[in-house]
A and B are shown apart, each in its own frame.
Chain A
Amino acid sequence: ETGVTQTPRHLVMGMTNKKSLKCEQHLGHNAMYWYKQSAKKPLELMFVYSLEERVENNSVPSRFSPECPNSSHLFLHLHTLQPEDSALYLCASSQEWGGVNYGYTFGSGTRLTVV
């Protein structure tokens, strides 16, 4: 496996369900991210983990809960979502060194539909 792998690729869930998105990076990067992209809108940063520590939480509702157990894995736990949360959820990883970010590698995303 190479690059950044996200599962599942597609997810349909009801508003009362609990589900988790998984991301795994095989690049030895030290930072991981969750982004949301709604239809015809720009990327919205949700969470940033650097060296397994959450360094940014961009005013995301508590129904989204991230988890970073180690530098290679990132989860996004979902519960009691709303239909407006339907979007493409993208995981990315990067190498950050001395305050310089050397560019992201994105996973292929999870297309989430909340019904």
Chain B
Amino acid sequence: RKEVEQDPGPFNVPEGATVAFNCTYSNSASQSFFWYRQDCRKEPKLLMSVYSSGNEDGRFTAQLNRASQYISLLIRDSKLSDSATYLCVVNFGNEKLTFGTGTRLTIIP
């Protein structure tokens, strides 16, 4: 089983729709959680840290479920500019972050 698992997609979603991604992780002792966004041929950029209580930043909502070992990202009122690959990232309590393979999202006009 992969340490961090995501549905690779692609997700093709009409503009204005709501889309949700889930990600599962293997280690219950995981310390910190993030969603990164990567545009084509660019570096990954931090989108959101994910906190135990869940957190919201504008149209984006992240949730953490430690009991089931998954994190989610919800995007409301999707924009064309949201098209990217979304990377689920987990820190297992050491120096490095472990990345999922990413979920590719395309917003269709």
**Chain A contact residues: over half helix, strand or loop, or mixed?**
strand
Q: Is A59 an interface residue, CB under 8 A from the partner?
A: no
Residues of A contacting B100 in the complex (Cβ-Cβ under 8 angstroms)? 42
Min C-beta distance of A106 to chain B, whole Å: 4
CA distance A108 to B39 in the complex (A): 11
Residues of chain A in range 80-106 having any CB-CB distance to chain B below 8 Å: 88, 90, 94, 96, 99-106
Min C-beta distance of B75 to chain A, whole Å: 20
Q: Is B97 within 8 A of A55, CB to CB?
A: no
Q: Is B95 within 8 A of A103, CB to CB?
A: no
CA distance A50 to B97 in the complex (A): 13
Closest A residue to B34 by beta carbon equals: A103
Min C-beta distance of B34 to chain A, whole Å: 5
Bits for B91-107, please: 1 = Cβ < 8 Å to A, else 0. Answer: 10111110111100000
The residue from B46, B94, B101, B102 contacting A104, defined by CB atoms under 8 A apart: B46
Q: Is A13 an interface residue, CB under 8 A from the partner?
A: no
The residue from B43, B96, B99 contacting A101, defined by CB atoms under 8 A apart: B96
Residues of A contacting B96 in the complex (Cβ-Cβ under 8 angstroms)? 33, 45, 48, 56, 101
